[in-house]
Amino acid sequence: MAQKCFIDRVSRLRRRLKAEGLTNLFVSSPINITYLTGFTGDASYLLITPKDLVLISDSRFTTQIEEECPGLKCEIKSDSVSTIKSAAALITKLKLSSLAIEGHVVSKAAFDDWSNLMASCNLVCTSGQVEALRAIKDSLEIATIRKSIEINERAFMIIREQLRGDQTEREIGHNLEHQARKLGAEGSAFPPIVGVGARAALPHATLTKQTVESSPFVLIDWGTRYRGYASDLTRILITGKCPPKFEKIYEIVRQAQLAAIAMIKPGVDCQFIDRTARDLIAKAGFDKYFGHGLGHGFGLQVHECPSFSPTRPGGLLEAGMVVTVEPGIYLPGFGGVRIEDDVLVTSDGHEVLSTLPTDYESAYCRLL
């Protein structure tokens, strides 16, 4: 099943390259190499031609390549030659006249160096060829993301059930990753965000020694990585009596999220989804307190195409995309609310993959 997925991905990429008028592609992004082959090492390159698929690497990864990519043709460089020089020699040997490289990944200095090493080959910069394929998840990816979300939610529920007033943001964040690892994950998909009270107004708050008991609410944004694939959720826990203002902004955010999710289906413009939630928050008078995009795609990386943004075109939704929907209201000195779920775009609509409830009553949490 897994090897067939990699074969299908390379076939799709070759068709895409042909449609773009490109013949050969030199992949240097480690994430893209993982997506196309299953190889999880680094410091390597992948050469794709209409007939050949070759991984250029070094002896550190010989056994790993055999385990992760059985049957994949590879070129293992000698210790006296750099990986890029080994790749250049292979390209010369294959008599390639042109080669597309990932211009969004390669620096100008590297491009100049490669041009000298591959003087007989015309280098052409391209961008986002593999990323465009990664935006549409195949069945194996969707199954893996489902498992990542399941582990993520289970880790959160353990933390919730064990929550104490003397616990710090830092302790909660570290324990989330510990629990996810115990449940089979590789670890966190990103550094957890735990914001107690006024610190919940920081969308990317870093972990501190602030304790849960210092405020009646805490925002937790956490993600798990399972078999390379991320999940990404945000919930509020209410541990005491909150001011009416807090419940008000919570309900505004929740309704904005529900409205946006309801609009998700193939063919809908990503900016329209963002505007659906943003207009509702603006109508309630809090537009200047929602300063980030509504959400983003995710998979092998936490942030992938597409994006729900008021400033950047995200394109049209397609079946197989997996996205976050995470509106928020952040009031400096008071606190903030963000509610985030993971959503799959289906052939005729959407499926919310995450299962933790979002209603205000469900946010209440009894401290030990």
Domain over 2-133 is classified CATH 3.40.718.10: no
Q: Show the low-confidence residues of the chain (pLDDT under 70).
A: 1
**d(C-alpha 282, C-alpha 252), whole Å:** 10
**d(C-alpha 89, C-alpha 195), whole Å:** 53
Give yes or no for a contact between 126 and 103, defined as CB atoms under 8 angstroms apart. yes
Instruction: Kindly report the pTM of this predicted structure.
Output: 0.96
Can you give 318-344 as a three-state secondary structure string? Answer: CCCCEEEECCEEEECCCEEEECEEEEE
**d(C-alpha 324, C-alpha 342), whole Å:** 5
Please list the residue range(s) of the chain that carry CATH number 3.40.350.10: 2-133
**d(C-alpha 253, C-alpha 308), whole Å:** 16
Q: Which residues in 264-281 are b (16+ Cβ under 10 Å) and which e?
A: bebebbbbebbbbbbebb
Sequence-distant (6+) residues with CB within 8 A of 234 are 193, 219, 220, 221, 222, 326, 338, 339, 340
Please list the residue range(s) of the chain that carry CATH number 3.90.230.10: 139-363
CATH classification for the domain delimited by 139-363, as one of 3.40.50.1100, 3.30.420.40, 3.90.230.10, 3.40.50.720: 3.90.230.10
Sequence-distant (6+) residues with CB within 8 A of 112 are none
Which pLDDT score, from 0 to 100, does residue 1 have?
Answer: 57
